[in-house]
Structure 1
Amino acid sequence: VTTSKDVEDIRMFDDLLEYLGYGRWSVFIFIICGLCEAYLVAHTLGGAFSTPYLPHTCVYPQQLNTSTSAVIITPIDECVYNVTDNDGDGETRQMKCTEWLFDNSVFGTTLTQEMSLVCDRAYMAPLYTSIYMFGSVFGASIGGLLSDKIGRRPVLVWSLALFFIISCTSTFLYNIQIILTLRFCMGFLHAALLQSSYILALETTRIRARSLVGMMVVTPWALFMIIYGGAGYLFKHWRHVTLALTLPFLLLLLLCWYLDESARWLLVRGKVEEAQKAVVRASKWNRVQPPPLHTLNTIMANLHHKKEVRSTSTWDVLRQQVLSLFVLVRNKQLRTLTMVVCLNFFTASLVYFGLSLSAVNLSANPFVYMMVGGLVEMPPYLITGPILATLGRKKPATFNFCISGLILVVLPFVSKTAGGWVNITIAMLSKMCISSVFVELFLYSAEVFPTEIRIQGLGTGVFCSRFGSILSPFINDILTPLYPWMTSVVIGGLAVTAGIATHLLMPETLGNSLPDMVGDLEDDTTQPQQPPEQLSSPIVQIHQGQGQDKKPDQGNWSDTSITT
């Protein structure tokens, strides 16, 4: 363990974290939050192996498909066929297929085959993913409010427990409507779980390490994408894959028994005795002397002096957030910033999930595609921070948007003649760029909005990103098979447009003081400040809703987070 504070110097909660230092307590919380991130991969991207498009042919009714039948069957497509009578007036009738023969050579057993999600039911295949994303829209808002009202730990534990039960239950069901309903519930819990775990991790991390933790806590997502691809190849049955990547996380649920509530939240809420228990356990785990009770009272007094905690109803908070959104269109500059931020988030999400779920459309091995997809996401998480600190925010965002978009524009024309590995390589270059954009957007967008509306600006952008993730599966599964070149070109063109809009309409924020009031945007005399000692984590910016010169001592964190 390392510590750099004496107990007599503790005045604020961040001083307490410096005193506690690094140790087993810090590592334990990081592991819990990282595993929460990893747990969600197989369910968020579940449509890749559960409801993929499968080549299929119509199976005609037995009474028609015989050599002695008095009819002639003329296939039209996989969904309908003509039946012509051999005798009489030769009347032709159009019939709908009710049974299909599926090609299981790649995926094995899938929901697409089990539930016949083709033809009139084809919309249910992309809905499997989209309804999950739709649930997360509600989970982000309500989960954030619950996390502030009842605490981080209860929301994390109950979300994890319910998610575990529902995900296991869904693998034993054979009714697609019930499965889709449970998918909505899982999406809701996804956002609540991810959000509460992020907040807990960042509230228990020292300021100097917050940037590193903010970047590293999302790396398990990429690692488990690799594992998910391997599990899909090994088991070849959507139910077995889901169970194999769900049951081991029962251990995570058991580990949460040893997880304490955020001491910062407890102090903000005036629960000093409970906070003391959490701090004493953290001290023992990190092998330092627990601070006395009067130290925690001092911290609580300073927290309440900095920001009075008011008791408000959930409906008052929701009403306040809705009304504050109108501030985002108050003047021309804010309207422009809001428009570009929403375009960027929507496009980044649309492209990211489109690429993550498009192995079949690219004629690539879906399991290798998923593993390589996880592999190429790791560099952006690790190197984007130093790049942004060196080159600024605007140039990397513009470059990555444009390169990702241009690759998508040429991809359908190259994939016609290229092999599977060529398609994977080209698609992964685009995905690497768009993954970098995601990391960049959270920090960049946090810096362009004034402090008084930063939460609303970021929340609106993240809200738009969810619509990109909802729309993406329908484009992949329904439009792309019909118009493969058009959808890729349109989405790629949208990414290029987002890059150009960023270059032309967004300001550079590196080294500049952050605006605090809306009126500051109209002040052309903004003075540059000294570059910060370290690049703040994008996740910190979102939860904090503050500039780089603020400390997250507030109890009410934002309800937005990176929920890929």
Structure 2
Amino acid sequence: MGATEDGFDDLLTSIGFGPWQIIGISATLLVVAQIPIHQVGSPFLNGPMSFRCSPTPPSEELSRVPDLRKANGTYFNNKCLEVPMDFRNNIASISSNGTAHFTGLASCPYVEYDTSIFASTIYSDWHTICEQEYMRPLYQMVYNTGGLIGSTMCGHIGDKLGRKASILIGSVGHLIAVVLMLTIPSYPIVLTMRFILGVMVSVMLLPSWSLALEVSLPNQRSLVGMLMGLPYSFFTSVNAGVACYLRTWEYILAVGICPGVILIFLVLFLDESPRWLIQRGREEEAIQVLNRAVKLNKSKLSTPLDFTVRKLSQAGTSSERRTADGEETSSRSALRELFRYIRSPAMRLIIILTTPLWFIQSFLYLSVSINANNFTTTSPFLYLALTGAMDASAIILSTPLATRLGRKTMVFGGMFGGALFLLVEQFVPTDFGWAKWVFVMVGFLLIGSAFQVNFIYGPELFPTEVRTRGFGFLNLISQAGFVCTPIVTESLAKNVWWAGGVLFGIAGMLGSLTVLPLPETRNMPLAETLQDAENRMKKSEDKPISDS
């Protein structure tokens, strides 16, 4: 491995773990805490509500008698009207009457919503029913599309501007987008802000994740990386409880983004990654940051810090860094860098295999998470709360197992086993509802374990000089899987009841096979350069021979 890699890990070990690392890790935790309300909050924010269409405003007598309106559950029939063509062109806006809302839709001029589960959602506020039903999946898709676009940007932002600047840009943009989404009553604005939220979350997430890993001690990196996912699980369950109490999408969203407000203030005390500063040739800034780390952690170093940093900067990675910086002035630098990595057998194998792996795991994870409205129409709050609990359990259980069994074993076992449970659930009779809940939740537990381990495994596969961009590429593929999720959960699963489970099972089993040829990274120093990645791959290939 490169001298810089081993030397910087030794330096971190000398500094020790303390308040300096806690600040950087806390920033990542706050970034992660904001994601659930956007990623898996659609069953609450955009949850479907049973409705009844009418060509004219319902009578006031019917509106005043709730028992007649419910009519043993048959009043809200979710059926659109067949309206003559001449009537479609002569719909005039008339004030709403009682609980009926004027929609302007030809097949549903007036609509009443069943408010027994939700007081209001985006679904009811903008009437994404009947001929506007196609608009409902857009709410989830535009967010993940924004995340996909953001993934193409965040790698460059994180590597060029730094981890701290990326977190600041993303957190401020995220807060502005939410405020506009809550204050401007327009569905196009809602979708636009959702797209921007996807971009901003990606701009925050990947650099902050890299920062937390890069400041952690080598022997604690796995533990820190695994536990960083706990805020996502915790706030998934918290959002379910908040939604069960508030029942109105604006209030639920406002509470869900509270961690983002705290994050903006925490960034003021956040230091840049010294590992990144050294990679960029900014030795003086790295020395200042590391001096602050020594003071906060109350450490004592045997070697002067400025001497150690300059020695690290002059190691083997410095020549590659200068070459890369020189190439950036050329319009063909990006293409050259791409060819440079494609020519590397190790990186070529990593890119080819991690692409389907991250697409499938993300598709499975989000599909199960937001499938509450298909799996149960009466307990979406319980469903999301349990998925949050299962996700937290996956992190707690997989953290010690990943350090013992390795990344590859955990990812393969989690994806294959989870897919098998989801497939078997399709054959459980509906009379055994408890058994169906068990199979779905255990399947999600296993998939969540693989998903969490992969968020450590993925960045570890790439060298430091392109780690953020490599992780950004994986997140881009992950977002592509997220974008495709509503196609199955909102369309296919509603028309063919068994299609979702069968597709989840087969995809998960096939995806688990892609991890087998990849190198193991457990208890290994982070690769700093392309040559380090090549050496690691060779050692991984030689290991079975030496062991035997």
Q: TM-score, normalised by structure 2?
A: 0.78
Q: Which has the higher contact order (CA 8 A, sep 6+)?
A: 2
What CA distance in whole angstroms lies between the structure 2 residues aligned with 1:511 and 1:39? 29
Are 1:148 and 2:148 matched, yes or no?
no
2 CA distance for matches of 1:146 and 1:519? 28
Counterpart mapping for 1:247-258 below 5 A: 247-258=258-269
Residues 277 and 286, structure 2, Cα contact 8 Å, conserved in 1: yes
Give the structure with the higher percent helix. Answer: 2
Cα distance in 2 for residues equivalent to 1:381 and 1:115: 38
1:23 matched to 2:15? The reply is no
**Pair 1:486-2:481 in alignment:** no
CA shift in 2, pair 1:502/1:274, >3 Å: closer
Q: Which amino acid aligns with 1:378?
A: A
Deviation at 1:220, TM superposition (A): 1.4
* Selected match of 1:319 from 332, 335, 338: 335
Shift of the 530–51 alpha-carbon distance from structure 1 to 2, 3 Å rule, reads farther
Match of 1:45 in 2: 40
1:122 to partner: Cα distance: 2.0
1:391 positional shift: 4.6
Q: What are the superposed Cα offsets for residues 446-491 of structure 1, whole Å, 9 maximum, x if unpaired?
A: 8999999999987765543322211112321222222222232222
Question: Which amino acid is the alignment partner of residue 383 of structure 2?
Answer: Y
**Among candidates 145, 155, 177, match of residue 134 of structure 1:** 145
User: How far off is 1:263 after superposition?
Assistant: 2.4
> What stretches of structure 1 of length at least 5 have no aligned partner?
1-9, 67-74, 86-93, 532-564
Q: In the alignment, residue 485 of structure 2 is paired with which amino acid? A: S
Q: Tell me whether 203-212 or 516-525 shows the greater mean CA deviation.
A: 516-525
Q: Does 1:210 align with 2:210?
A: no
**2:14 counterpart of 1:58:** no
Question: Greater CA deviation, 378-387 or 314-323?
Answer: 314-323
Alignment of 1:216-255 (within 5 A): 216-255=227-266
Residue type of the alignment partner of 1:375:
A
For residue 376 of structure 1, what is the aligned residue in structure 2?
390
CA 1:411–1:440: 2 relative to 1, 3 Å = same
Instruction: Go from structure 1 to structure 2 and tell me whether the alpha carbon gap of 1:166 and 1:386 turns closer, same or farther (over 3 Å shift).
Output: same
What pairs with 1:93-242 in structure 2 (closer than 5 Å)?
96-242=107-253
Secondary structure class of the residue paired with 1:57: strand
Alignment of 1:496-507 (within 5 A): 496-499=509-512, 501-502=513-514, 506=517
- When residues 323 and 211 of structure 1 are mapped into structure 2, their CA distance, relative to the original with a 3 A threshold, is same
Indicate yes or no: 2:440 matched with 1:427.
yes
How far 1:11 moved relative to its partner? Answer: 9.7
Conservation of the 8 A alpha-carbon contact between 1:54 and 1:103: yes
Report the residue type matching 2:504 in the other structure: I
State the TM-score, normalizing by the size of structure 1: 0.76
RMSD, aligned CA: 4.2
Gap change, CA 1:334 and 1:202, over 3 Å in 2:
closer
CA distance in 2, matches of 1:219, 1:528: 35
* Amino acid corresponding to residue 419 of structure 2 in structure 1: G
Offset at 1:304?
5.4
CA distance in 1, matches of 2:465, 2:205: 25
1:366 to 2:380 alignment: yes
2:52 aligns to what SS in structure 1?
Answer: strand
Secondary structure at 1:98's aligned position in 2?
Answer: strand
Identical columns (%): 25
Gaps of 5+ in 2: 62-75, 87-104
Which deviations, in whole Å up to 9, do the C-alpha atoms of 1:299-342 show, x marking residues without a partner? Answer: 433375464333215964543465568659x99x978x866543
2:225, 2:456 within 8 Å by CA — same for their partners in 1? no
Distance in 1 between residues matched to 2:16 and 2:9, nearest whole Å: 11
Judged with a 3 Å threshold, the aligned counterparts in structure 2 of structure 1 residues 29 and 190 are, in CA distance, closer, same or farther, namely same
Deviation at 1:441, TM superposition (A): 4.4
1:452–1:516 contact (8 Å) kept in structure 2: no
> Contact 1:325 / 1:456 at 8 angstroms: preserved in 2?
no
- Alpha-carbon distance change, 84 to 438 in structure 1, aligned in 2, over 3 angstroms: closer
